[in-house]
Chain A
Amino acid sequence: MTGSGLVAVPLLPLLAAALALAIGRRLPRAGGVLLVVSLAGSLAVLLSLRAGGRLSADWLAVGRFRLLVGLEATGLTWFAAAVVAATALAVSLYAIGYMRDEPTGQPRFFAGMGLFAGAMLALVLASSFIMLFAGWELVGLASYLLIGFRSREDRAVAAATRAFLMTRLGDMGLLLGWLLALLATGTTDIGAVLDAARSGQWVPGFATLLGFLMFAGAVGKSAQLPLSAWLPDAMVGPTPVSALLHSATMVAAGVFLLLRLFPLFQAAPGALALVFWTGAVTAVFAALVATAEMDLKRVLAWSTSAQLAEMMIAVGLGVPYAAALHFATHATFKATLFTAAGSMERQTGTRDLGRLGGLARAMPLTAAVFAAGALSLAGVPPFAGFWSEEAILSAAVARGPGRGLLMVGLALLTGVYIGRAGIAAFGGRSRGAARTGPPQAATMRAGMIALAVAAVLAGWLLQGSSLAGLLGMREPPRAGAGWRGLAIAAGLAGLSFGGGRAWICGGVPALGRFPQFLATGLDRATRAAVEPAKRASTDLDAIERVQDRSARALAEAVICVSAGLDAIEHALDRGARAVSGSARVLAHGAEWVEARGFGQGGDRLAAALGDGGQRLRALQTGKLYLYTLGLFVWAAGALGAGLVLLLR
């Protein structure tokens, strides 16, 4: 019974989305208010339910396969759903103000946001693979719609298509994975599959294979290395979309999938190793690229890729607790950074780090919010990022000093790129961009401040054994003070290096230009992968041409046949003309009979009936008393007749 309220959690935003789409023009703020209210409702329902609810139903059963749909609030899913709902709430509050001056498509935008949040909540709370996959695809669809929101711009369309197709590539892995799991266990219940994985009843390679397939989905969604090029391109969407997409809904789905299926990965050490190495390579790569990007939002996008890779590292190290904690803190501070960046872009009209600068005086609130997010990202105590990154560091140190050094290096790089971006945008001299936009809406400020407060406090509030207990995961042993101090020092050093360089030289790349080549290299590699596909399609084209030719030959044969048929029809036509000629002669005779006989006879009959009607009309006097009289005379007569009959 505790589970029935769970349905409301994803349903409320979806309902708000449908309403916004249907009657958005007449709603306040084009449905934005409705969206915020629905998300608040979801969050309230979620918080009132606590973990432990479950709601599941058979969708269909075919043979030995039982397909379930359902929602489940385990500690992990409850926690993740709460993070998603809270972040989405703050971001949509921000979006109301952000989209205020958008001329068209506001209902469409808020409908997309509602779909995005609702689908993510469904994904997170899903208790069966079908539900999870449906949410997964819906999230992809919503991101496609939102990235391509400004559908008149070619870049937006291209980026949306690219994001959709690249994530689909990973989704195929997930689809194959859960279909394989269905084949093996006969059910789509996630818990049952995980139990089967835990019990070790499968052949040794099977769990590893499943892990690889599922991880492919996570790689696509979370923009890990082979498939990470779509994420920076997705920046063409409106900033609230980026904030939501990067913090809680889209990319976090990949990490969430790994967390949800962690028992499966535990049973597959090979897959875990793959997760770790993918994460490590992506983290270094993305962080390096982020130091060289000139576009503020693209810096943040690469940073997201790197941070997600850190979560992958945590999962790969076998410490999902650290990944979950980082999942939550990253949602807060990344949403904070994006809202601040969006606010700044809205005020100045640009996000080119070469032109921004010295904006802290013009926009103190935005600068403060950005600083909170940046410090949190760089892992400076006591901001949120510090706690989760320390947990990851502890996990890494426990597995060996090499991995610990990797984490310290990552902290350094993180500090460098975010310090550079922050100082280049808000510190130093003004370099052209000035505050020209309209003043910020109150809702924007409220959303930003709420997120900033969360980015400061979330880590301290969440970390600790109570969260570990809720998630059912064990906390890693804390690393030694030396390691922790080293990491903090690395973060601060990175910040001061990046910031100082940006202060002096402006928005030039922090570590030279070589990371840019990495990015273009990845881009080129992606394009190279497309080439064979293109060639295959030209081959297909040739095959089709052959088919076309044969079809033409067939068509000509058909034409010949139809010409023969045409001749036959001509003959038939001539016969039919003869028949119709004789019929016409007959019809002339019939016409004479009708006109002379029936026509005039009917005329005379009608005249006679008309005369009779005129006479009968006199009876209808229109006088009420005559009618009444007639009624009573008739009644009296009838009674009299009855009496006579009775007495006779």
Chain B
Amino acid sequence: MIVPLTAYLVVAAVLFAIGLYTVIAQRSAVMVLMGVELILNAIGLNIVAFWRFTAPGDYSAQIFVILVITIGAVEMAIGLALMMLLFRQRQSVEVDGYMELKR
């Protein structure tokens, strides 16, 4: 069967919402990073869905998605590295523990 475009878009919207919720509501920095990744992937899903249904002959969309994933991966690597650094310094990955800027 053929899944309609609307279904993809709804999934993407829900992914975005979940990512948004995760970013704000989760205390663990790892989870915040995952939320960011979810948001990125929601966007990627949107792009691919639009490509598939409106312009399947133009493969630029795939390239954009590749780039989005690439950037997501890099961001994840840097984020996790920062996390490790922070954890090593203060034995916690909870984002509201990092309050040095407020003094």
Contact = CB atoms under 8 A, between A and B. Distances in A.
Q: Do A and B touch directly, given a CB cutoff of 8 Å in the complex?
A: yes
B34 to A, nearest CB: 14
Contacts of A617: 102
A622 B101 contact: yes
Contact of B23 (A620, A621, A622, A625): A625
B20 A625 contact: no
B95 interface: yes
B96 A625 contact: yes
B20 A624 contact: no
Interface string B52-85: 0000000000000000000000000000000000
B84 to A, nearest CB: 17
B24 interface: yes
Nearest to A624: B95
Contacts of A616: none
B32 interface: yes
Nearest to B26: A625
B102 A621 contact: yes
A633 to B, nearest CB: 10
| Most chain A beta-carbon neighbours within 10 Å: one of B23, B24, B25 | B24
B3 interface: no
Contact of A623 (B26, B99, B100): B99
Contact of B24 (A620, A621, A622, A629): A629
B98 interface: yes
A185 B23 CA distance: 91
Given A625-B95, A625-B96, A632-B20, A620 B102 contact: yes
A48 interface: no
A628 interface: yes
Contact of B96 (A620, A624, A629, A632): A624
A629 to B, nearest CB: 5
Nearest to B100: A622
B46 to A, nearest CB: 16
B99 A632 contact: no
B20 A623 contact: no
Contacts of B20: 632
A625 B31 CA distance: 12
Contacts of B25: 625
Contacts of B98: 622, 624
Interface in B1-59: 20, 23-27, 32
A97 B49 CA distance: 85
A632 to B, nearest CB: 6
B95 A623 contact: yes
Contacts of A622: 96, 98-102
A617 B99 CA distance: 13
A628 B24 contact: yes
Contacts of B27: 625
A258 B101 CA distance: 86
Contacts of A623: 95-96, 99
Contacts of A628: 23-24, 32
Contacts of B96: 622-625
B17 to A, nearest CB: 11
A625 B24 contact: yes
21 contacts: A617-B102, A620-B102, A621-B102, A622-B96, A622-B98, A623-B96, A623-B99, A624-B32, A624-B95, A624-B96, A624-B98, A625-B23, A625-B24, A625-B27, A625-B32, A625-B96, A628-B23, A628-B24, A628-B32, A629-B24, A632-B20
Given A622-B98, A625-B23, A625-B25, 12 more contacts: A620-B102, A621-B102, A622-B99, A622-B101, A623-B95, A624-B95, A624-B98, A625-B24, A625-B32, A625-B95, A628-B24, A629-B24
- The 8 A-B pairs with the shortest beta carbon distances in the complex, nearest first, are A622-B102, A622-B99, A624-B95, A623-B96, A629-B24, A625-B24, A628-B24, A628-B23
Interface of B: 20, 23-27, 32, 95-96, 98-102
